[in-house]
Amino acid sequence: MWAWILHRVTGVGVMIFIVIHILDTWLIGFGPEVYDTVMNIYRHPIFRLGEVALVGALLFHALNGLRVILIDFWPEAGLFQKQRQLFQVVVVLFFILYVPVAGYMIWDIIY
């Protein structure tokens, strides 16, 4: 159940980002000044932390998405214990990939 909840939360989060991203890209139509002003807001540490969260959401959603595809097409993966093991693999892979990336991004914000 937690895999599904996290998948849904990260999915909605990424979708909200995409909507904002489409809107800010659209601002280029009003000229470079408007666009640059908005882009400068994104340099604020709060938005940069949001970026760290975005990478995490994308990474989890992608990894768990592969798990869901396995559950859909590989009958064995539909077994309760098997899908649980697959979720554990997703969590481990997530941390292996995310910790260095998030560390680097946060280090970049601070220094």
Residues in the site for another protein, rule: CB under 8 A?
A: 1, 4, 68, 71-73, 75, 78-80, 83-84
Give the separation between CA 52 and CA 81, rounded to whole angstroms.
Answer: 32
Place of tokens 């693999």: 89
CA distance 66 to 90: 9
Place of tokens 């869901």: 68
Provide the minimum distance between the beta carbon of 53 and another protein in the complex, in angstroms, as a whole number.
23
Nearer to another protein, 72 or 108 (CB): 72
Q: Which is nearer to another protein, 8 or 21 (CB)?
A: 8
Q: Which is nearer to another protein, 15 or 53 (CB)?
A: 15
Is 52:58 a contact under the CB 8 Å cutoff?
Answer: no
Q: How far is the CB of 20 from another protein (least distance, A)?
A: 26
Report d(CA 34, CA 23) in Å as an integer. Answer: 12
CB of 79 to another protein, least distance (A): 6
